[in-house]
Amino acid sequence: MYFFSPPAVPARRMRAAVAALALTLAVAGCATAPPPNDAMNLAQYQLQAARDAGAADYAPVDLGFAQDKFQQAQAAMEARKFADAANLAEESGADAELARVKARLGAARAEMQNKLQENTRLRNEGEQLAARQQQMEQAAPAPAADSSAPLPVGDMPAPSASVLSAPVDGAPIPPADNPAPATSSGIPGGQP
């Protein structure tokens, strides 16, 4: 027996088998993949997320690519080219995700720039305030550093003698309203 010998099957059976195989391949070839609804929905969601993140301002080129590919995916869906639609939807989603990330990065950079400007403004304001305070300190007269100089006293009355000293020899203290002048001769207003 030879391995490569012609089959002993009648030609009629062989033609029927080949025809069945061809029909099976034709039917399988005509059958298409199901519509990529999930991929289309995901791409649409990612496009909206990119728009919400500010991609129109910070990543307009990438957002434009994502929108173009999504429109191409929609056209492929209408033409019932579901495999192409699925691929375009995935590409659209990837571009939309890139646009969203770039938009977030751009927004973070803008926020950082605003904070830096605010810090610079506050620093300048603080420096100006310190300079004004230093000028005011230089313009005000400084107190004398000499501790031996008497401190100025306002118009304060001197305390009465009765408050300053205690009575000597048990003598009564004269009233504070009419103090008696002290004389050596005992005669009021006289000379010794």
Residue 155 has a pLDDT of 72
CB atoms within 10 A of CB 43: 28
Segment 61-113, tens digit of pLDDT: 999 999 999 999 999 999 999 999 999 999 999 999 999 999 999 999 999 99
What domains sit in the chain, N to C, each tagged with a CATH number?
36-138 (1.20.1270)
Q: How large is the average pLDDT for residues 134-159?
A: 68
Distance from C-alpha of 41 to C-alpha of 73, rounded to nearest angstrom: 11
31: pLDDT strictly greater than 70:
no
Structure tokens at 180: 């008696």
Q: What are phi and psi of 174, to 5 degrees?
A: -65, 150
Would the pLDDT of 179 be above 90?
no
Q: Give the predicted TM-score (pTM) of the model.
A: 0.52
Nearest-CA neighbor of 179 among 164, 155, 153? 164
Average pLDDT, the chain: 78
Residue 139: predicted pLDDT: 82
Give Cα 38 to chain centroid, integer Å: 36
Whether the predicted pLDDT of 158 surpasses 90: no
